[in-house]
Structures are given as structure tokens and as C-alpha cells.
Homo-oligomer: A and B are copies of this chain.
Amino acid sequence: MKKEWDTIEVLRHERHDWMNKLQLIKGNLSLNKVDRAKEIIEEIIMEARQDAKLSNLRLPQFASTLLTCNWESHHFQLEYEVMDSQIFHRLDDQLLTDWTEQLFETLDSSIEPYQENHLSVTIEPQEKGIGFFFDFSGIIKDKNRLESFLDQKPGNMMKIISDGVVEGELTIEVFMETL
């Protein structure tokens, strides 16, 4: 199920993404929109900082899953934000990753493909663990499937604090205890 990324493939996708960003800067410069080009550069730097923060969470499998998600043919676009924190937790990376991949799979089979489907993940380190907030907006076609996935208990160290599915909107709040 899970694609194992090799170095060449990772670099190929990454190169493709960066070329797109560079073309955007180049395009604005050739239209003499220097200020817009500068803004785009700042946006790219902010995004890269999120990637760096995600990579520094000491959750290598979970971070890989998020970092490569938009290269896989999912029916949604992923974005993420990692809140600043000085606290470092050791979590069950495998459990978190397995659950997240199951969520992605369930989403793929519950939403309408080729629509404006967005999944936003906010990661918030707290005192006794890390909170994960999943916000989906888009076209949900199988609410029941999502609900039955959410009815399953993820595991001992991981709890679904709250969840809600309404038309076109899904929110899940997950808390994962430190090991």
C-alpha cells in the first residue's frame, strides 16, 4: 500500500516542485513585478521552515508521510503547520503514521475526486504530548465511511478528542501521549 520512496524519486519530485516555484519567481521578474517576486520568495521560505519544523519533530515516518503526500495521487491537497514549541516528545511514530495513512485512504474513498479538496494539519506540541488537528474541506460523498473510521479507537497512546463531519467539512482533533 505504502510507496517506498527512493532517493532518485524523492529528488525528482522535489526538483519538479522547486522548478515550479522558480518559474513563478522568474515569471514575475520578467513582468517587472519585483515586489511580487520578493513576496513569493518569502512564502517559499516560510513553507520550507514548516517542512524543517516537521522534520525536527523526531517523528521520521509521520514526517515522511506528510512531506511526500502531495506526490502521491490522493484526491486532496495537503498542507500543514507546526506550532512553535521548545518541548520535544517521544511519541509512537509507527502508530501515528499507520493511523494517518488510514485516514488518507479513508478520505480518498469518501470524497469526490477532481474537486477542490484540502486537508490541513496543525501540529501543536503540548505539555504531555502532541495535539493533531485535521481540517478537511471539500466534497464528501460517503459520510458513513468516514464516521465508521472515526469510531475505531486508534490505540492506547492515541485518542480522538473530538470529530465532526458536516457537509463539505470534516474536523478531527487527535491527542497523542508521550511515551
Give the residues in chain B near A51, CB-CB below 8 Å.
Answer: 11, 15
Whole-angstrom distance between the alpha carbons of A52 and B41 in the complex?
23
Chain A interface main SS type: helix
A60 adjacent to B6 (CB under 8 Å): yes
B10 adjacent to A68 (CB under 8 Å): no
Give the residues in chain B near A11, CB-CB below 8 Å.
Answer: 10, 14, 51, 55, 67
Quickly give the copy total for this chain.
Answer: 2
A18 in the interface, Cβ–Cβ < 8 Å? yes
Given contacts A8-B63, A11-B10, A64-B8, contact A37 B45 (CB under 8 A): no
Report A's interface with B, CB cutoff 8 A. 5-8, 10-12, 14-15, 18-19, 22, 25-26, 29-30, 34, 37-38, 41, 44-45, 48, 51-52, 55, 60, 63-64, 67-68
| Seed contacts A7-B64, A10-B14, A15-B51; 16 additional CB < 8 Å A-B pairs | A6-B60, A6-B64, A7-B10, A8-B55, A8-B60, A8-B64, A11-B14, A12-B55, A15-B52, A19-B45, A22-B44, A25-B25, A25-B41, A26-B38, A29-B41, A30-B38
